[in-house]
Amino acid sequence: MTGTGIIDQFLETFTRYIDNGFGLLGSEVGYLATTLAAIDITLAALFWSWGTDEDIIARLVK
């Protein structure tokens, strides 16, 4: 760790991560988006199936 090379290397790495849109967070964000999409689809299916005055079996057979 002699000289300023370590500072330049750190700044280069930091800038690269910032420019790539926080690449380290990609998997966590992907997991969160997948979970939220699954919750959204499940809620939509529940509301659809609880519709009043509708014959769900007849709709599924069509």
Question: Around 9, how many Cα atoms within 13 Å sit in the side-chain half-sphere?
Answer: 6
Q: What is the pLDDT of residues 3-34, one digit of tens each?
A: 667 677 777 877 777 677 665 566 776 788 78
Q: Does residue 35 register a pLDDT over 80?
A: yes
Domain layout of the chain by residue ranges: 25-62
pLDDT computed for residue 41 by the predictor: 87
